[in-house]
């Protein structure tokens, strides 16, 4: 693990500790797996990565740790369609659009939702949180087919 990734693991674990959490080998392994994963890992994928090094860590422990991290604002989960929720660091959170035909997942800048967010707030007194669920539709390739 690079020095930067190691620092990030320690920083996240320090936040857990400051909130009264114990730093266990399972927590360290999960945070390390989350930072090492490219993309949008599900809890199951993270459990696989942790269990490859620590087979005694149960999947329920992974879910419990993810809940703790989410409660502290360290991670967020997103629903990208009909599959399991995926996780990413809150500081890198972003909305997604998913093609309902081919399943392509596209990360979208939050600015893409600004106009809709203003309309929903002004007209409906509703605050949009575009990162929790993906917006579905058709990607450019599938629209052309």
Concatenate the DSSP letters of all residues of 100-125 into one string.
TTT--EEE--GGGGHHHHHHHHHHH-
- What integer pLDDT is reported at residue 44 of this predicted model? 96
> Is 3.10.20.740 the CATH classification of the domain at 94-143?
no
- What integer pLDDT is reported at residue 5 of this predicted model? 57
Percent of the chain with pLDDT over 90: 61
87-143 residue pLDDT tens: 988 887 788 999 999 989 898 988 999 999 999 999 999 999 888 888 899 999 999
Q: Which long-range contacts (CB under 8 A, 24 or more apart) does 38-43 make?
A: 40/78, 40/80, 40/86, 40/87, 40/88, 40/105, 41/86, 41/87, 42/83, 42/84, 42/85, 42/86, 42/87, 43/84, 43/85, 43/87
Tokens of 113: 């939702």
Across the chain, mean pLDDT equals 89
The domain segmentation of the chain, as residue ranges, is: 3-90, 94-143
Pairing of strands 75-78, 86-89: antiparallel
CATH number of 3-90: 1.10.10.10
pLDDT band per the 50, 70, 90 thresholds, residue 60: very high
- What integer pLDDT is reported at residue 131 of this predicted model? 80
């Amino acid at each position: 693990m690079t020095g930067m990734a190691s620092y990030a693991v320690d920083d996240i674990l320090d936040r857990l500790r400051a909130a009264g959490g114990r730093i266990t080998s399972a927590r360290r392994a999960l945070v390390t797996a989350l930072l090492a994963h490219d993309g949008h890992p599900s809890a199951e994928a993270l459990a696989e990565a942790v269990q490859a090094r620590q087979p005694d860590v149960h999947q329920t422990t992974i879910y419990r740790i993810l809940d703790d991290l989410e409660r502290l604002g360290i991670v967020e989960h997103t629903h990208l369609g009909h599959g399991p929720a995926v996780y990413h660091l809150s500081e890198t959170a972003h909305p997604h659009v998913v093609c309902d035909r081919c399943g392509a997942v596209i990360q979208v800048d939050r600015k893409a939702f600004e106009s809709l967010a203003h309309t929903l707030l002004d007209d409906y007194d509703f605050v949009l949180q575009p990162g929790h669920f993906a917006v579905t539709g058709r990607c450019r390739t599938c629209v052309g087919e």
